[in-house]
Every structure is written in C-alpha cells, then in structure tokens.
C-alpha cells in the first residue's frame, strides 16, 4: 500500500468515527430525556430527538449532524491533499452515523450527515430531495419509502441538470448507496408496524 492510499484509507476511518458520534444519544442524556436509542423510532437523529427532548435539543442535534460530514471531508482533504477524500471520507461519515460503533452499530438514517455535505457542495440537491420527499410522503404515507423515492429520483435529476465535478458525483453515488441500504431496513420496520396496527 502506497503512502497516498494509506492516508486515503485513514481519512475514511477517521470519517467513519466522526460520523459515528451519536449526537442524539448524548443530547437526550444531557437534557435528561429518554434515550433515543430505546424510545420512539429508535433512531438517533433530530426527528426522534424532537419527540423525546423538544425543539431546542433537536435543532442542536441537526446542526451537529449536518456538520459531522463536512468536518470529516475537510479533515480528509487536509490529511491527504487529494480530492478522493471527498467520496471516501464523506461516505464513511454517513455510514458511521447510520451504524455507529459507539452504540453497538445502531444509528440514525444518515440524511442530515449526508445533507450537510450536499449543502456545502451542491445546495440544490437537498432542495430537490425534500420536494420529492414531501410529495412521496403525502402519497405513500410512509417515511422510508418517501426517502427512498427522494434519493432514487433526486440524485440523478440533480447530477444530470447541474453536472457537478467528478468527485461530487462519486460522493453522491456512494452516499446514496449507503442511505438506500439504511432505509431498506427502516422500510421493513415501518411495514411491520403498519401490519401490527
């Protein structure tokens, strides 16, 4: 392994550990609220934090989770000096949020961590995703399906219309794969909840 590839691998590892920081768990504990891992949806992001601890706690979680991905990429770029740190560290940070080593590989849905990077690099992407998600959520009444629709339809639409630089494309593709894998598990969770209702 060359020195460059070793640094790139290290940027991915560091990106994962940054993304894995369980903001929602830490914040709900500091707020004295129920632990988001074991209440509500079981997700550690801002939505479940809002249900357990209120708006201020949720806003703080959202801001930190948005920043985690950007921080991972910036650190990776500084470490490697290579644009490949964007897709490697960025996608690793999203995976870390979804499957955090700190809490037994549980986690959130990854949208805020991925979205923070998109807001930095390609701000129109999250706008298109949210627009599709809102329509799909109203039609399907199912959050995971709506998110999957937003990812599957929004990512190619954004890339085709705005034609960003190659590394942004690679990050987008890698992040969308991670998010889709994560949302498939939630798809089944919501389906089972609906059947039991």
pLDDT of residue 189: 59
How far is Cα 161 from Cα 85, in angstroms, rounded to an integer? 24
The average pLDDT across 119-128 equals: 94
User: Nearest to residue 84, comparing CAs of 179, 8, 190?
Assistant: 8
pLDDT at 117 over 50: yes
pLDDT band at 188 (very low <50, low <70, confident <90, very high): low
pLDDT band at 47 (very low <50, low <70, confident <90, very high): very high
Q: Among 59-68, 149-158, 188-197, which stretch is predicted with the lowest mean pLDDT?
A: 188-197
pLDDT at 28 over 70: yes
Per-residue model confidence as pLDDT tens digits over 154-178: 999 999 999 999 999 999 999 999 9
Mean pLDDT of 66-84: 96
Give the whole-angstrom CA distance, residue 37 versus residue 28: 10
Q: For the chain, which residues make up each domain, given as ranges? A: 3-196
The yes-or-no verdict on residue 187 having pLDDT over 60 is yes
pLDDT at 196 over 90: no
Instruction: Return the half-sphere exposure (C-beta side, CA atoms, 13 A cut-off) of residue 30.
Output: 12
Banded pLDDT at 41 (limits 50, 70, 90): confident
Could you please report the per-residue DSSP string of the chain?
--HHHHHHHHHHHHHHHHHT--HHHHHHHHTTPPPTTTSTTS--SHHHHHHHH-HHHHHHHHHHHHHHHHHHHHHHHHHH--TTHHHHHHHHHHHHHHSBGGGTTB---SHHHHHHHHHHH-THHHHHHHHHHHHHHHHH--HHHHHHHHHHHHHHHHHHHH---HHHHHHHHHHHHHHHHHHHHHHHHHHHHHHH-
Q: Which two structure tokens, joined as six digits, stand for 79? A: 């470490």
Average pLDDT over residues 127-139: 93
CB 53 within 8 A of CB 27: yes
Residue 40 to residue 83: CA distance in whole angstroms: 39
27 vs 53: CA distance, rounded Å: 9
The pLDDT score that the predictor gives to residue 141 is: 81
Assess whether pLDDT exceeds 80 at residue 194. no
Mean model confidence pLDDT for the chain? 91
């Amino acid at each position: 392994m060359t020195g460059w590839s070793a640094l790139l691998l290290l940027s991915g590892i560091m990106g994962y550990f940054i993304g894995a920081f369980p903001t929602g768990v830490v914040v709900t504990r500091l707020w004295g609220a129920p632990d988001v891992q074991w209440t509500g949806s079981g997700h550690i992001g801002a939505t479940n934090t809002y249900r357990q601890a209120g708006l201020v706690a949720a806003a703080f979680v959202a801001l930190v989770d948005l920043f985690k991905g950007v921080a991972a990429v910036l650190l990776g770029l500084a470490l490697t000096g290579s644009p490949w740190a964007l897709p490697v560290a960025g996608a690793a940070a999203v995976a870390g949020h979804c499957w955090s080593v700190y809490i037994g590989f549980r986690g959130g849905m990854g949208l805020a961590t991925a979205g923070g990077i998109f807001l930095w690099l390609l701000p129109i992407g999250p706008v298109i995703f949210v627009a599709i998600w809102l329509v799909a959520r109203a039609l399907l009444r199912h959050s995971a399906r709506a998110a999957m629709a937003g990812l599957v339809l929004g990512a190619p639409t954004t890339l085709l219309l705005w034609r960003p630089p190659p590394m942004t494309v690679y990050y987008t593709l890698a992040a969308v794969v991670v998010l889709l894998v994560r949302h498939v598990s939630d798809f089944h969770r919501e389906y089972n909840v609906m059947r039991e209702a």
